[in-house]
Amino acid sequence: MMSDLIEPPAERLDSTLNKAIQCLSLFAVWVLWSGGFSLSAQTTNAPASHPPTRIEPTTVTAQGASVHDVTSETELVGPANQPEWTTRRVFLETDVYVIPFGEVEFNQFYISSHPRHGKPESLFESELEVGLPWRTQFDVEMSYGVRDGKLTYDSTMLELPHALADWGKIPLNPAIDAGWRFNTSGPDSYLFRLLLAEQFGQKLYFGANLSFERQVAGELETAYEFSAAMNYNLIDMKLSVGAQFVLEYETARESEFDAEDNVWETANKYDTQILLGPSVLYRPTNHLYLGVTSLFGLTEKSPTVEAFFLLGIDFEPFGHSTSKAQDSGEDNRYPILRRPR
């Protein structure tokens, strides 16, 4: 009886090994299950390695595009975000703002002047403008005329206009200008000007200039001038009509030798000219424009009429860029002659 209850040693060893194997198997299953659960929890709760970031608004710039390749004259172009109509000659006797960097503009003027006394004169001016960085411009103006059937060269003017800020940052968008005139038949003169420009709505353009020019020697001829112009955009990118006003006050110191008293006598001469008239500007193409302005004299010293004819061409030899933010001028000496500015 007792011998039946006692297992043999070999059988006890096999039973023990089986129990141990079962325990190890259960432990291995528990370890694998616990590790997988923990890994899953960590993966689910782990923060993203690359959190989302906010991209700030940027400015898109198209290199090589012309500032004149627009659908409306009021579109903002160039580094200063200025309207396209300010990038070219828009008034014959009034300058506005500056042209963009890289822009080259050539203007050829013909002026037919009919004084109240004396013969008519034919005057010419060739003007070259180059857009520089930092809202700056360099101008070269060559003035010449036909008098008594002879071609005479009058002067060469160098100017450096500079806009004080990007368009729209300051009311009337002021630009300042300094220049030097090399006269062929008299002393040189220096020039300072204030250029103003504004746009009213989508059709009306305004410009005004205040200028001071004075000779450095001789009779010290001095000219104070105020000019203003306004154009209405009749056909966008093609035709505009308007009016031009010019007020000029001139002074000169004249010296005359009094042989009787054997002394030099000095007298000051003053002239005031006021002119007013209509203007038309036509653009056959985006880079070519033609203009006519007829100014009629309103004072005794003013000419009866001065007619201005303009041929202008825009070049962009250095390439251009347009950008738009995504988020948003009866005595023996020649008188002072006004020239287109």
pLDDT bracket for residue 228 (50, 70, 90) = very high
CATH topology of domain 80-325: Porin (2.40.160)
Indicate the burial class of 152 (C-beta count within 10 angstroms; 0-12, 13-18, 19 or more). Answer: middle
For the chain, the average pLDDT equals 83
Identify the pLDDT of residue 34: 56
Q: Where are the domains of the chain?
A: 80-325
146-185 pLDDT, tens digit per residue, is 888 889 999 999 999 999 999 999 999 999 999 999 999 9
**What SS3 state is found at 277?**
strand
Identify the pLDDT of residue 166: 97
Helices (H), 129-173: none
How does 5-19 read in b/e, with b if 16+ C-beta sit within 10 Å? eeeeeeeeeeeeeee
Closest CA relative to residue 92, chosen from 63, 116, 120, 125: 125
175-184 pLDDT, tens digit per residue, is 999 999 999 9
302-339 pLDDT, tens digit per residue, is 999 999 999 999 988 875 545 544 334 444 333 444 44
Tokens of 322: 């347009």
d(CA 253, CA 321): 50
241-275 pLDDT, tens digit per residue, is 999 999 999 999 887 766 676 777 778 889 999 99
- Predicted structure pTM score: 0.75
Mean pLDDT of 282-311: 96
With beta carbons less than 8 A apart as the criterion, state whether 121 and 145 touch: yes
Closest CA relative to residue 201, chosen from 230, 170, 243: 230
Identify the pLDDT of residue 337: 42
Q: Which of 96-105, 236-245, 254-263, 280-289 has the lowest mean pLDDT?
A: 254-263
Contacts of 339 (CB under 8 A, 6+ apart): 109, 111, 123, 125, 141, 143, 329
